[in-house]
Structure 1
Amino acid sequence: MNARTLLHTLRLSVALACLCALHDAQADQTMLLPEGTVSLIRATTAFNVDMPIALQPGDLLATDVHGGAQIEDGDGTIIALGADTRVAIDAAPHGNALALLSGWIKIARPHAGAFDPLSIDTPALHASLRDGSAVLHASRDMTSLFIEAGSMTLALPDHADAHQQLDGEHYAERETGKPLVVGTRPATSFIAAMPLPFRDPLALSATPAKAKPAAPAQGRPATYADIADWLSAPLPIRRGFVARFRPLAQGEPFRAQVRQNLRNLPEWRRVLCPPPAMPRRRAVSPAQNQSTEVES
């Protein structure tokens, strides 16, 4: 093999390696596919999204009252969002996680294999789905779900050490502060309110493989109204909000609005009313100590 052929082979190998790396990176992306306009809070900026976009941990999503969306992960997981639904893309120690503040979602996961379970936090219930499909609805005071297939592990936020595993064709609901209720048939009210598309199996979107995820259009600083319900939500993800949204509290009217709601946001008190700085002790040099001893 001459030098020119060797150089060509090396270039081809590098190009193939880069192509494979790009493919793997795209496969690992979690994509949002809006049906209508979806509100996105990323870091401290608010966006209106109406095109496919790659999601990031910490993103807060809200569908409008006439829209919806689908989230697709590189492992084949599909999460459908109903209208008027708010979810957060959380970062779990092992695997993926969602926080469902309110609204409807349907989840479908292929046979798990080596994949870690998908964790779902709601105000009244914590769920973990390894594979199968399930429909969940959450409000601030109640969570209800129906497991169509597979199995799901449930835990109560105030009794995190107590777990209950349910297999397919089981229904569970829990009102905040009350015991978990389990049955084999969904409640009539649950079926009546469930979005009609959720009665059918979920399928991956037909988005062309060459379509590139759009970057968010120019956004604006998030307002207190944008995140008020998240700031006071009884969800584990809330613990990181003070550090994340602290820069917004440097200006008005966000600072005044937080102050008005301190009863529900006690963790913000140190931001608005920081403790006084400790006085600095004046250093005394050895020469000064020696001088004092001589004078005495």
Structure 2
Amino acid sequence: MNALLQTIRIGIALASLCALHAAQAGQSMLLPEGTVTLIRATSAFNVDTPIALQPGDLLATDAHGSAQIEDSDGTIVALGADTRIAIDAAPHGDALALLSGWIKIARPHTGTSDPLSIGTPTLDASLRDGAAVLHATRDMTALFIEAGSMTLALPEHADAHQPLDGEHYAERETGKPLVVGTRPATSFIAAMPLPFRDPLATSATPAKAKPVAPAQGRPATYADIADWLVAPLPIRRGFVARFRPLAQNEPFRAQVRQNLRNLPEWRRVLCPPPAMPRRRAGSPVQNQSTEVES
């Protein structure tokens, strides 16, 4: 009997371990070099150890920091300094929203994986396999495809796709057409982070991910998410519902009010329409005539 119970316990433990491994297998891991600011739900965290990422996470490196995101399918995304990126959701495959800064992506050829979508303020791209470097600001996006191929599209013409093979450069400013060439611009090369000149490699230290964000969090401030709130990116559409609880308190509410011109979708949060009067139970509904009495 004791042997049977011991066997059952071992079986349960192995099943739990396999379930935990399966649950973590599909997660992306953040490996910071320095401290990365993480906005998860409505809280902000300073992350300096490996952590499992979740859809909706907003990440920001500082002026001297960097980070690497590694996925179980072999995808690596390196973040340069002063970079802000979101783990977005896509109907098929994974998605990132690059608000500003530098990233380098490397994806192995598997033949079965869906493409990785990358949204920026002025250009959308998808990479099935290969390597590419991207730089984004609010007004311009530039990218160089080292290997593989990408599909590009303008946010305002999402149905018009333009494939682009490796060793091609593309850039696009707001309101201007896409410019494509075979050599990256001199300014692009000069500003690119030096580590991006080398192929990406997985972290030498095995990631020991935590299942949730660190406990030392705080409510996100307006300054933490101000640029995201006005970002010309599809992910912005979910921010009112997500960050609405923050608007119940000052100074967040006052800061949103000061910027309502750029945040029209928040007007109903600060100035909700008057509630409709409640009809008393049992009272008849009067027919309203549209005729004009003579």
Gapped regions of structure 1 (runs ≥ 5) = 287-296
Query: Conserved in 2, the CA contact under 8 Å of 1:48 and 1:217?
Result: no
Alignment of 1:26-65 (within 5 A): 26-65=24-63
> 2:218 & 2:119 partners in 1: Cα distance?
28
Deviation at 1:24, TM superposition (A): 2.2
Q: Counterparts of 2:110 and 2:234 in 1: how far apart (Å)?
A: 25
- Matched letter for residue 47 of structure 1: F
Aligned equivalents of 2:172, 2:142: Cα separation in 1: 6
- For residue 14 of structure 1, report the CA deviation from its aligned partner: 3.8
Partners of 1:21 and 1:35 lie apart in 2 by 30
Larger Rg, first or second structure (1 or 2): 1
Q: 1:71-104 CA deviation, whole Å, 9 max, x = no partner?
A: 0111111000000000011111211110000000
Gap change, CA 1:7 and 1:283, over 3 Å in 2? closer
Q: Percent identity?
A: 86
Give the aligned partner of residue 195 of structure 2: 197
Aligned partners of 1:58 and 1:15: how far apart in 2? Answer: 32
2:170 matched to which residue of 1?
A: 172
Q: Alpha-carbon deviation of 1:110?
A: 0.7
Query: Which residue is equivalent to 2:291?
Result: none
2:29–2:209 CA contact under 8 A, matched in 1:
no
Give me the TM-score of the superposition, normalised by structure 2: 0.91
Shift of 1:153: 0.6
Q: Which moved more, 1:184-193 or 1:213-222?
A: 213-222
For 1:256 and 1:8, how far apart are their aligned partners in 2? 61
1:123-175 alpha-carbon deviations (Å, 9 max, x no partner) = 00001111111000000000000011111111100111100011111110000
Structure 2 Cα separation of the partners of residues 105 and 136 of structure 1: 5
Q: How many residue pairs get matched? A: 283
Q: In structure 2, the residue corresponding to 1:104 is in which secondary structure? A: strand
The equivalent residue for 2:290 is: none
Asked whether the 8 Å contact 1:67–1:84 carries over to 2, the reply is yes
Residue 217 of structure 1: how far off its partner (Å):
3.7
Indicate yes or no: 2:133 matched with 1:132: no
Instruction: Decide which of 235, 238, 247 is 2:236's aligned counterpart.
Output: 238
* Unaligned residue ranges in structure 2 (runs of 5+): 285-294
Match of 2:180 in 1: 182
Aligned alpha-carbon RMSD (Å) = 1.7
**Matching residue's letter, 1:103:** G
Q: CA deviation at 1:113?
A: 2.2
Q: Is the 8 A contact 1:119 1:127 kept in 2?
A: yes
Deviation at 1:6, TM superposition (A): 6.1
